[in-house]
Amino acid sequence: MLLMRSLTQRRAGKVTSSNIRYADVKPVNGPGMGSVQQWLQTTIKKTPVSMETPSTRELSLQAGVYGALMVLTYVNGTSTLSVTPNAGADVPGLLLATSFGASLYFMTKRNVKLGKATVITIGGLAAGAVVGSAVENFVAGGRCPVSWPTLPGSRG
Please check whether residue 21 lies inside any domain of the structure: no
pTM, whole model, 2 decimals? 0.51
For the chain, give the mean pLDDT: 76
Q: Is the pLDDT of residue 149 over 70?
A: no
Residue 93 lies in a domain: yes
Q: Is residue 6 part of a domain?
A: no
Regarding predicted confidence, which is higher, 82 or 98? 98
Domain limits for position 111: 56-80+88-140
| Res 64: pLDDT | 94
The answer to whether position 44 is within a domain reads: no
Q: Are 39 and 113 in contact (CB under 8 A)?
A: no
* Residue 24 in domain: no
- Percent residues over pLDDT 90 in the chain: 17
Q: Is residue 46 part of a domain?
A: no
Domains identified in the chain, total number: 1
Mean pLDDT of 100-104: 91
- Across the range 118-126, mean pLDDT stands at 92
Residue 121, pLDDT above cutoff 60: yes
pLDDT of 142 higher than 80: no
Whether 145 shows a pLDDT value over 60: the answer reads yes
Whether the predicted pLDDT of 91 surpasses 90: no
- The answer to whether position 76 is within a domain reads yes
Query: How far apart (Å, rounded) are the C-alpha atoms in residues 151 and 146?
Result: 15
**Per-residue pLDDT at 27 exceeds 80:** no
Q: Residue 103: exposed, middle, or buried by beta-carbon count in 10 A (0-12, 13-18, 19+)?
A: buried
Whether 142 and 156 have beta carbons less than 8 Å apart is answered as yes
pLDDT confidence tier of residue 94, bands split at 50, 70 and 90:
confident
103: in domain: yes
